Chain A
Amino acid sequence: MNYKLDFTPVIEGMPQLLLACLGTFGLALGGMALAIVIGIGGVILRDSRVAALRWLVKGFVELVRNTPFLVQIFFIYFALPLAGVRLDPTPTAIIALGINGGAYAIEIIRGGVQSIGKGQIEAGLALGLHKAQVFRLIVLKPALRAIFPSLTSQFVLLTLTTSVCSAISAYELTSVAQRIESDSFRSFEVYGTITLFYLIISWVMMRFFAAISQRYFSYPVK
C-alpha cells in the first residue's frame, strides 16, 4: 500500500464536475417529470374500459420492469434513429429515464389510487362530477399523498440511475468524471469525490421531495 493520494486533477476538474452535477440534476428532473406524466397517464389507461389499453399498459410495465436499464437506454438510443428521430444523448437519456421511472411510477401510483375509499368516489359522482373530474379533483391528491414516500425512494433511485446514462455519453457527473479519470488515472480520488457528490445529490433530492410533501400534502388526516 504505497498509493499516494493526489487530488490535483480533481481540484483542477472541479468546475467541470460541479457543472456536471447540474447536468445530473437536469437529467433527473426531466426524467421525473416524464415519469410522473407516464405514471398518472398509465394509471388512467391501466384501468380503462378498453381492454387493449389495459393490456398495453400491463405489457409496458412488465417489459420495462424486467429488463436492465442499460439495455433500455441503448435500445432507445439506437432504435429512435431507425424511426427517423435523431436525438442527442441528453434528451435520449431523459426519455429513457422517464420511461423507466414511469413504469415503476404506474405501479406505485396505482397502489395509491386503490387505497382511496369507494365512498370518496361515490360522493364525487353523487355531486354530479364526471369520472375524469372525480379522478383529477378528488382521488389524485390523496392517492399521491398515500404513496409519496415510495415515490420519493423511486425517484432518488432514478436520480442515481442517471449515472448509467454515461454509457451513451449524456452530459452528467459520471461521464465527466470518467473523462477526468482517463486523463489522470486518479481513479480513487475521482470516484471517491463523485461518490460523495452523489450522496449530496440524493440528499438534496430527498429534501426537495420533503418540501413538496410539506407544501402540498400536509393537510391533516385522522
Chain B
Amino acid sequence: MNEAATSAAAPANAMIDMFHVEKWYGDFQALTDINLSVRKGEKIVLCGPSGSGKSTLIRCINHLEGYQKGEIRVGGTRLGDDARTIDAVRREVGMVFQHFNLFPHMTVLQNCMLAPMRSLGVGKAQAEATARELLQRVRIAEQAEKYPAQLSGGQQQRVAIARALCMKPKVMLFDEPTSALDPEMVKEVLDTMIALAEEGMTMICVTHEMGFARQVADRVIFMAGGAIVEEAPPEAFFSAPRHERTRKFLGEILQKH
C-alpha cells in the first residue's frame, strides 16, 4: 500500500514526483527507495546497466507496472491502483517504446487517431487534423496512408512519437527509443526528440545516446541495482562522475560508441 505520509515536500511546479518508491517482482526488489522530482519542461536522461531498473522506473509512472511502496504523483494526481487515477495519468503521459509498437492493422493515420477518438472522445475530423499536423511535425506526413510494415524503423519510431503526441500529453517517456534502430536511422529519431525538447516538453528518456544527453538533458540520472546512484547536470555527470559504478559504466559506454 502507498504511504501517504511521505508526500509533504512537493515543489509547486513539479510534473512528476516519486517519493520513496519501492517495487518488487515477487521476492526480487526491482526499485529501491526511488526519489525523483521532475519539473515542468525539464528533460531527464536515465541511464544505467542492463537490469538496473530504468524501464521499471518509467513504466511505474504510467502504471504499466504497479509499485508496492511510496507514492507517485503526476501533474498533481496521486497515482493509486484504481482505474480512475490510472486513466487520468495515462491520458497525460505519452510513452515511446524501444520496438515502436505501432498497430500493424492500422495505417499511420489510424494509429494516430485511435486513442484521441476512443480515449479522449475527440471527433473524427478533429482527430485527423491533429494527426496530420503532428505527422507533419515529425516530417512523415506523406506516409499517412501507409501501414507500419511499409516504413523503415526510423520512420516507424517517428510515427510512434507523433501517435503519443496526438494525446496532447504533458509528459513524454522514452524507453530506449533508438536502440532497436539501424545506426543510420538513429539521428532522425534523436532530431525529432531534440525538436520536441526545444518546444518545452517535459521528458524522461532512457537512452545511452550520450550526445543526446549532453545536448538536451537538464539532469542525467544513473541507476544501478534498482536504485538511483547519481544524478547531475550533463557537464558534471560526464566530466566528474562521483561514484565508481558511474565511472565504470561511462567507460564501457564510451568504448562502445
Contacts and interface: CB of A to CB of B under 8 A. Distances in A.
Interface stretch (B21-29, B89-97, B189-197, B224-232): B89-97
B95 A128 contact: no
Interface stretch (A183-191, A197-205, A214-222): A214-222
B126 interface: no
A123 to B, nearest CB: 4
B115 A128 contact: yes
A221 B115 contact: no
A145 interface: yes
Nearest to B88: A128
B214 interface: no
B176 to A, nearest CB: 13
Interface in B96-112: 97, 99, 101-105
B118 interface: yes
Contact of A141 (B105, B114, B150): B105
A161 to B, nearest CB: 31
A123 B150 contact: no
Contact of A219 (B105, B114, B119): B105
Interface in A158-178: none
Contacts of B94: 126
Contact of B114 (A119, A126, A137): A137
Given A126-B95, A128-B87, A129-B118, A220 B105 contact: no
B164 interface: yes
Given A221-B149, A222-B149, A126 B62 contact: yes
Given A137-B114, A220-B150, A128 B105 contact: no
Contact of B147 (A133, A137, A145, A220): A220
A183 B210 CA distance: 88
Interface in B126-183: 147, 149-150, 160, 163-164, 167
Contacts of B97: 119, 122-123
B253 interface: no
Interface string A116-132: 01011011111111100
Nearest to B65: A122
Q: Which of A117, A123, A138, A145 has the most CB of B within 10 A?
A: A123
Contacts of A133: 118-119
B240 interface: no
A142 interface: yes
Interface of B: 62, 64, 83, 87, 90-91, 93-95, 97, 99, 101-105, 114-115, 118-120, 147, 149-150, 160, 163-164, 167
5 contacts: A120-B103, A128-B87, A129-B119, A145-B105, A221-B149
Given A125-B64, A129-B119, 12 more contacts: A119-B97, A119-B101, A120-B103, A122-B64, A126-B94, A126-B164, A127-B114, A127-B119, A129-B115, A142-B103, A219-B104, A220-B147
Interface of A: 117, 119-120, 122-130, 133, 137-138, 141-142, 145, 219-222
